[in-house]
Every structure is written in structure tokens, then in C-alpha cells.
Amino acid sequence: MDNIYIINASHIFIENALILSNKFNIPIQSDFNPKKGDIYIVYGSHEIVLNLLEAQYRYGCSYIIMNSEQIGSNYFHNKYYLRLLKENILFDYNHLTSKYLKDTFDIDCLSYFFFDFMKHESTELRDIDILFIGTKNDDREKLYNDLVKKYPNKNIEFNFDWKLDTPMKMKEKLSKAKYVLNLPFYSENSLETHRINNALSCGCTVVSLFSKDEIANEYYKDYIYFSNDIITYFDNILESPKKSFEELITDLSKKIYLHNLFIINQLKEKMSLYSNANKKAENL
């Protein structure tokens, strides 16, 4: 697709960006080098807000913003980030944030996107009984201490150091875990499906607290285990079979990727009109 690129401003989304690039044959631009009329699908846009706005002002770039920030994020207090969302096509991965942006800032979300991962086959011994990977906060730290105290014979690891900064490092760690926890960071939390999908892609069993997004909870109950209390969950594990990671990705792809292609085609038409208008103006 001419003049359509993917850019990624965060190591967290490297794998997601690569998969999208391969599925739709859209090149990833490693160095942001915009030209007049370019279209970008952007992961991690909150990290490069000013760069994106400047390029839009100078070159008339258009963006599809893949917003990954949740309600409670400081970026929703950033007027420049809000302007970026309002002036471009916005995709979000959850219903809560989409509704919040519409109700609070009158910003529309045209569709949802999801976090796609490659299935990771591993023969490594799963010697980590319970694993959590994410940013440290008081609740997560307390849960770790409570789990270690209650289950001294289990190998429990909470990784807060953000050193798993490539897809391979992350996959290697996940592939050693039997259970991966999904624990919210924000009080008005969406279901953190990036963490969930990545863990499922590595064959882990995911145990999650319920999110505030009841639609996501209902959907993911076929793929992961929910509990109101992580500590008591491991007291008496009685698990019914869940659907596979492959089934999850197949189902989500049917729901979402057609929307992506529709939006991209709209932008291509917009780009063509923009180019023709410029040519006419130059001939006057």
C-alpha cells in the first residue's frame, strides 16, 4: 500500500506491529521520516505526541492511532495527546476507554483493535508456578508478599523491572510459567488483554481479577480463569477446559480486521483526493 506505514514508539508493541505489517503488507518505518500525505498506523503514540503533531502540521500526515492508554492515564490530561486523538482516526482495544473518551472529550472511536501475537512453541520446563509481569504498585506488591507467605513451596515471581524489552525475552520468560496473573493497575480498569494474549500465546494458564469492562470479562471467560481473590484461587484449583489461543485469535480476527481494512481504504481515498487537489492547485 503506497504511502501507508506502521510506526511503533514502544518496545511493548514490537510483536503486534510486526504481525500487522505481515498480514497487510504494510511496511514498518523504523525511523519516522514523514512526507506529504503519508498515512501512519501508530502504536505507542503517547510516547511521541509532539513529533506526530508537528509532522501532521508540516506535511499533512494522517494517523490511525492504536490507543493503549486506559482511563486514569496521565496522558488523558495532556492537551496535545487529546488533540492528536481528536484530529485522527482512533482505534481502542476496550469499551471503557472508548466510552470515556466520547463522554468526556467528544472523541470518537471508530472500531476496536486487539493485540495479536505469534504462538510460541517451547519445550522448556515450566519451573515458575505463578508469574506476574508489569509495573509495581502497592496492591501488586502486597499480593506478591501474601502469595509467597501462603505458598512457601511454590516458585512465585513478580517481575517489575521492565528488562524484558524484546519479544524473545518476554516469550522466554512466559514459556517458563505455569500460571500468569492479570492484575489491574488502574481502579477503573479495562481488561489488560495485551498481557493476557501474550501469555496465552506461550501456553500459559491465565488467572485474572475481574475488570470493570463487563463485555470483555464475558468474552474472555471462555479463554481465561477469573477470580475475585487470587489468594483463594490457588487453594483449591478446579479448572474446566478453556478454548485455545488459536481459537481466540481466529475469532478476534474475524471481528476486527475487516474494520481495519475498511478504514485503511478510506484513508487511501482521502490521500488520493489530497494529491489530486495539490496537482490542480499547482497547474493554476
With H, G, I as helix, E, B as strand and everything else as coil, classify residue 129.
Answer: strand
Map grid coordinates 485455545 to a residue.
244
β-strand partners of 2:
none
C-alpha cell at 262: 475498511
Q: Which of 86-90, 185-189, 199-203, 263-267 has the highest mean pLDDT?
A: 199-203
Fold that domain 4-116+251-283 belongs to in CATH: Rossmann fold (3.40.50)
Q: Which candidate, 245, 236, 132, 113, places its Cα nearest to that of 184? A: 132
- Per DSSP (E only), the strands in 33-147 are 39-43, 62-67, 89-92, 111-112, 128-133
Please give the model's pTM, rounded to 2 decimal places.
Answer: 0.88
What's 19's DSSP letter? H
Helix, strand, coil percent values for the chain (each to nearest 5):
45, 15, 35
Q: Which candidate, 123, 142, 144, places its Cα nearest to that of 133? A: 144
Phi-psi region for residue 222, left (φ > 0), alpha (ψ -120 to 50) or beta?
alpha
- C-beta separation of 243 from 222 below 8 A: yes
- C-beta separation of 171 from 120 below 8 A: yes
Per-residue confidence (pLDDT) for residue 239, from 0 to 100: 77
- C-beta separation of 63 from 45 below 8 A: yes
Cα–Cα distance measured from residue 146 to residue 29, given in angstroms and rounded to the nearest whole number: 45
Read off the pLDDT of residues 220-258 as tens digits, 9 standing for 90 and up: 999 999 999 999 898 877 778 899 999 999 998 877 654
Per-residue confidence (pLDDT) for residue 182, from 0 to 100: 97
Cα–Cα distance measured from residue 97 to residue 44, given in angstroms and rounded to the nearest whole number: 16
pLDDT, average across residues 37-59: 94
| Distance set, CA 176 to CA 54, 101, 234 (Å) | 44, 38, 18
Per-residue confidence (pLDDT) for residue 199, from 0 to 100: 97
Mean pLDDT of the chain: 88
Residue range(s) occupied by CATH 3.40.50.450 in the chain: 128-241
pLDDT at 263 exceeding the cut of 80? no
pLDDT at 3 exceeding the cut of 90? no
CATH ID of 128-241, from 3.40.50.450, 2.40.30.10, 3.40.710.10, 1.10.1270.20: 3.40.50.450
β-strand partners of 8:
43
Per-residue confidence (pLDDT) for residue 102, from 0 to 100: 95
Residue by residue, DSSP assigns 86-113 as HTSEEEES-HHHHHHHHHHH-----EE-
